[in-house]
Amino acid sequence: MGPNLFGIIGRKAGSLEDYKYGDYLKNADFSWDEDTLKAWMEDSGAVAKADGKRTKMPTQRVKGEKADEVIAFLKTLK
């Protein structure tokens, strides 16, 4: 199980109090927007690696139209 995704757009990564994040997201210095979510859904390991870190999150390989659909859905969760 992952953290609650309600209100994820604009939320600081790794910031929910009731979820135990891995070190990368717990110490992340970014907020989720469409671009970061798309990159994360396509290859979370590459996103962490670009910052010189690692993540425990398994890569989802969601991209293109499917990623756009997921983000459109996430925007409805308030």
3-53: pLDDT as tens digits: 999 999 999 999 999 999 999 999 999 999 999 999 999 999 999 999 889
Q: How many CA atoms lie within 13 A of 58 on its CB side?
A: 3
Phi-psi region of 72 (alpha: psi -120 to 50; beta: other; left: phi over 0): alpha
| The pLDDT of residue 77 | 93
pTM: 0.87
Mind listing the pLDDT tens digit for each residue in 39-77?
A: 999 999 999 999 889 888 888 899 999 999 999 999 999
